[in-house]
Structure 1
């Protein structure tokens, strides 16, 4: 029997149905456009009480324009800050003033350097670039890429200080620009490449030195997102609340003291609603009746062993029931390694010593000593999709060992090591991530309220906001409709996210830019044109 033949292939987003997407043709606009496609709009643009003549953007990967897991030319061209700058320029020029060109540290790479895969590729030793969507999987595939190269333009004329991957503290430390060494975890080549003085200057200092008149600040997401992306497996990636508060306040205070600028601060969005955490369902294992019955027969010995340790050794019956494997026709929970479970190896050994099982049966139980099916409500991370249904023994012809079905996700069949944590988030881990996000957002809101004469908050978690509707956070169907076209919170052709499942695509960036414009208009009395969302591309298909 070959259960893999009955399983869907999830590299990244198994929920896509590429055929029949409403508006698919218009969604597949070529992202490599020669001009920024901002249409003429009949709007009486004005700056109001703000001064947009020199706009500066500070933040992390979304501000920088990282898209499809890489920083590349089109991602920079269509980041929200660059789109926003085009609209602010109209208001400035309509007021008879000169707009300082919005200069970015151009990456000069068609495909960029992929940060989500081993790079260089260990098999070919070649650099891999951005993802494209392969409809045959369906899922992303990397393109040929380019190494991260130094910025050769005028570093002192820049307006975009977005640096992929950074946390709040990295805005403040010179170590972000160097040196590159294992002893300097703050280092990132994405800042070093355009730092005015690598190892001495800071991102915030470089931004302040440009003396902006208006800014956007979107920082803090990575202080909790990195932890979430690791499957809550790396505590070092979760910033403490007091550290966050101190660092964020330092950023805001220095920014306001060092410039006369006003600006918009953006908080941490509902990150667990991102397609990275939603694309693969906890019950992604689809079986036909015959395969389900065969699997149940195969797992009967494991389930019997669980009952035996309850009867013989007083093992917790609830824990045993949680670990039991029962398959049915249709969708079934993924079988995973859970390192937080008690290791049942010693109790299975006792069963063998008591003569309840033989040596061969004991050996067969090894992969399941800390295994269980996922529970409803647990979130599967995107990288799990590439493994589900693949043969754990690497041989499709001799054995039948589909990952997540027969062999638990996170169990290495070659050496017996366990590493299930990076593939899913338990409910307790989700709660911790959400609570930490709320704490950080409280600190952000407090800082903005304390400086309300110069700062405005864009609350991405507003129950009345567009992201609440996009993600369906009120329990309604996810998606938003713009000019009759329904856009989805995924990276399908009608989606607003890029193929990495975290960063927006051009349409998503346009939505963000328009939301920020609404905040500006409300708080500064401005009138600003909107970006035409549907005139921008969405996902790029592999060719």
Structure 2
């Protein structure tokens, strides 16, 4: 990215701040807490920006209990820093799943879409579902505006960040710029005139520039920019088609009541490897209306049928998404490097835990059918499903997707947030020469 002068950056950010509306008000006197013992001056006023992970969203829902287990809260605790989150009254809005993918419904009896606190200054300004663009404007898509209003009111994340006069800012954004396409299987617009589900790189870069300018305008002592997660590698809500076929073969040819087409079989009728079985299938197809079966052929439905390619990523689409995520992360890293900020690639940590297994061969942290790709015999395929895929029974994990993944198959569990906070603390220590606890 072309380097711009500090004056130009400030001018651009200031102009954006004016357009975003609202100004710093009477809460200024609340913004000078005692300097933290372990975080030093850097964590006097820590602000975290982002989407669902940063907000503490787990198992398809959010409430005050799980919000206080989110990595920014844990990070602030390590720094002994005052830190406020806009808490949603238990059981939540929406309420979290009570079992994997909501098989037995959600906790509680009704959503509680009200706040349980009202801090004068909000420091965890993350909102579930938001894309990079939504940090700069009031969101417009889906249910995000309702959550944004509940958590932040009418001001943007950027406006809240500036008003908090941060000394340190963390930003984990961009996941939803790729996640919707990954899980939904449609990379382009979902309807006429809509934006692409997979955000174009040029738009992402432009939005990132504006966000970075806004952080520069706020003038923190430091910042941490966190990269975009590649859901194809990290999210168990996406599994190879072979998994669904092999699991269904044990239950009469259906997976959780939905028939699985033979084109998902890892082995063809002629006994040769079936490339369609490597296509990624989203768990969302199991309950999606209008789909009579789980089908691994991207051409199963005719051109023009909205079901064509939905909830399915063929290998070429997987490559496109992966390349786009890599490009997003290159842009984020370049922005951090240009300003002397910290950049963290979460995929490095996720790949580490994705590859770990117990001495008995079971993958306990993340269940992504890791062993299926190299299994060639029926015995090996069966073993691979039991040891590395989401299953119930003796070889499964209590939460189905692995201990680091919550019941929605996408968002980190409480245990994962602890690992994230420890990892981020170590990276911050190395970059800014402070001594946050890392365990």
TM, length-normalised to structure 2 = 0.69
**Residue equivalent to 1:54:** 45
Question: Which one of the candidate residues 433, 449, 465 is aligned to 2:321?
Answer: 433
**Residue equivalent to 1:83:** 74
Kept after mapping to 1: 8 A contact 2:46/2:123: yes
> Residues 480 and 54 from structure 1, CA distance in 2 versus in 1: closer, same or farther, beyond 3 angstroms?
farther
Kept after mapping to 1: 8 A contact 2:58/2:413: yes
Aligned residues: 349
TM, length-normalised to structure 1 = 0.57
Question: Which one of the candidate residues 145, 150, 157 is aligned to 1:193?
Answer: 150
Q: How far is the alpha carbon of 1:530 from its aligned partner?
A: 2.9
Structure number with the bigger relative contact order (C-alpha 8 A, sep ≥ 6) is: 1
Any residues of structure 2 matched to 1:158-237 within 5 Å, and which?
158-173=122-137, 175-176=138-139, 188-196=145-153, 198=154, 201-232=155-186, 234-235=188-189, 236-237=196-197
Question: Which one of the candidate residues 131, 141, 161 is aligned to 2:97?
Answer: 131
Kept after mapping to 2: 8 A contact 1:232/1:429: no
Question: Which one of the candidate residues 422, 426, 430 is aligned to 1:522?
Answer: 430
Higher percent of residues as helix:
2
Residue 496 of structure 1 aligns to a residue in which SS?
coil
Residue 188 of structure 1 aligns to a residue in which SS?
helix
Kept after mapping to 2: 8 A contact 1:68/1:130: yes
Q: How far is the alpha carbon of 1:142 from its aligned partner?
A: 3.1
Question: Which one of the candidate residues 260, 273, 281 is aligned to 1:380?
Answer: 281
Task: Quote the RMSD (CA, aligned, Å).
Answer: 3.8
Residue 242 of structure 2 aligns to a residue in which SS?
coil
Structure 1: any 5+ residue segments left out of the alignment? 1-44, 90-98, 114-128, 293-323, 334-372, 393-402, 473-477, 532-543
**Residue equivalent to 1:467:** 350
Q: Distance in 2 between matches of 1:451 and 1:64?
A: 26
Q: How far is the alpha carbon of 1:384 from its aligned partner?
A: 2.9
Kept after mapping to 2: 8 A contact 1:70/1:112: yes
Q: Distance in 1 between matches of 2:263 and 2:151?
A: 55
Q: How far is the alpha carbon of 1:404 from its aligned partner?
A: 3.9
Q: How far is the alpha carbon of 1:226 from its aligned partner?
A: 1.6
Q: Distance in 2 between matches of 1:143 and 1:479?
A: 31
> Residues 279 and 185 from structure 1, CA distance in 2 versus in 1: closer, same or farther, beyond 3 angstroms?
closer
> Residues 327 and 266 from structure 1, CA distance in 2 versus in 1: closer, same or farther, beyond 3 angstroms?
closer
> Residues 507 and 258 from structure 1, CA distance in 2 versus in 1: closer, same or farther, beyond 3 angstroms?
same
For each residue in 1:347-377, what CA deviation from the matched residue of structure 2 results, as whole angstroms up to 9, or x when unmatched? xxxxxxxxxxxxxxxxxxxxxxxxxx87132
Residue 217 of structure 1 aligns to a residue in which SS?
strand
Q: Distance in 2 between matches of 1:503 and 1:383?
A: 15
For each residue in 1:287-332, what CA deviation from the matched residue of structure 2 results, as whole angstroms up to 9, or x when unmatched? 779x89xxxxxxxxxxxxxxxxxxxxxxxxxxxxxxx96898xx66
Any residues of structure 2 matched to 1:89-104 within 5 Å, and which?
89=80, 99-100=81-82, 102-104=83-85
Q: Distance in 2 between matches of 1:164 and 1:327?
A: 33
Q: Distance in 2 between matches of 1:46 and 1:379?
A: 44
**Residue equivalent to 1:504:** 412
> Residues 496 and 248 from structure 1, CA distance in 2 versus in 1: closer, same or farther, beyond 3 angstroms?
same
Q: Distance in 2 between matches of 1:379 and 1:288?
A: 18
Q: Distance in 1 between matches of 2:363 and 2:297?
A: 39
Q: Distance in 1 between matches of 2:53 and 2:63?
A: 12
Q: How far is the alpha carbon of 1:47 from its aligned partner?
A: 3.5
Q: How far is the alpha carbon of 1:209 from its aligned partner?
A: 0.3
Residue 48 of structure 2 aligns to a residue in which SS?
strand
> Residues 467 and 408 from structure 1, CA distance in 2 versus in 1: closer, same or farther, beyond 3 angstroms?
closer
> Residues 515 and 288 from structure 1, CA distance in 2 versus in 1: closer, same or farther, beyond 3 angstroms?
closer
Q: Distance in 1 between matches of 2:352 and 2:113?
A: 39
Q: How far is the alpha carbon of 1:153 from its aligned partner?
A: 3.7
Kept after mapping to 1: 8 A contact 2:264/2:295: no
> Residues 47 and 143 from structure 1, CA distance in 2 versus in 1: closer, same or farther, beyond 3 angstroms?
closer
Kept after mapping to 2: 8 A contact 1:277/1:379: no
Kept after mapping to 2: 8 A contact 1:410/1:418: no
Kept after mapping to 1: 8 A contact 2:263/2:276: no
Any residues of structure 2 matched to 1:121-520 within 5 Å, and which?
129-133=95-99, 141-144=105-108, 146-147=110-111, 149-151=113-115, 153-173=117-137, 175-176=138-139, 188-196=145-153, 198=154, 201-232=155-186, 234-235=188-189, 236-279=196-239, 281-286=241-246, 375-386=276-287, 392=292, 403-404=293-294, 419-452=307-340, 455-462=341-348, 466-472=349-355, 478-479=356-357, 487-490=364-367, 492-493=397-398, 495-520=403-428
> Residues 479 and 170 from structure 1, CA distance in 2 versus in 1: closer, same or farther, beyond 3 angstroms?
farther
> Residues 190 and 248 from structure 1, CA distance in 2 versus in 1: closer, same or farther, beyond 3 angstroms?
same
Q: How far is the alpha carbon of 1:51 from its aligned partner?
A: 1.5
**Residue equivalent to 2:88:** 107
Q: Distance in 2 between matches of 1:327 and 1:215?
A: 45
Q: Distance in 2 between matches of 1:326 and 1:77?
A: 45
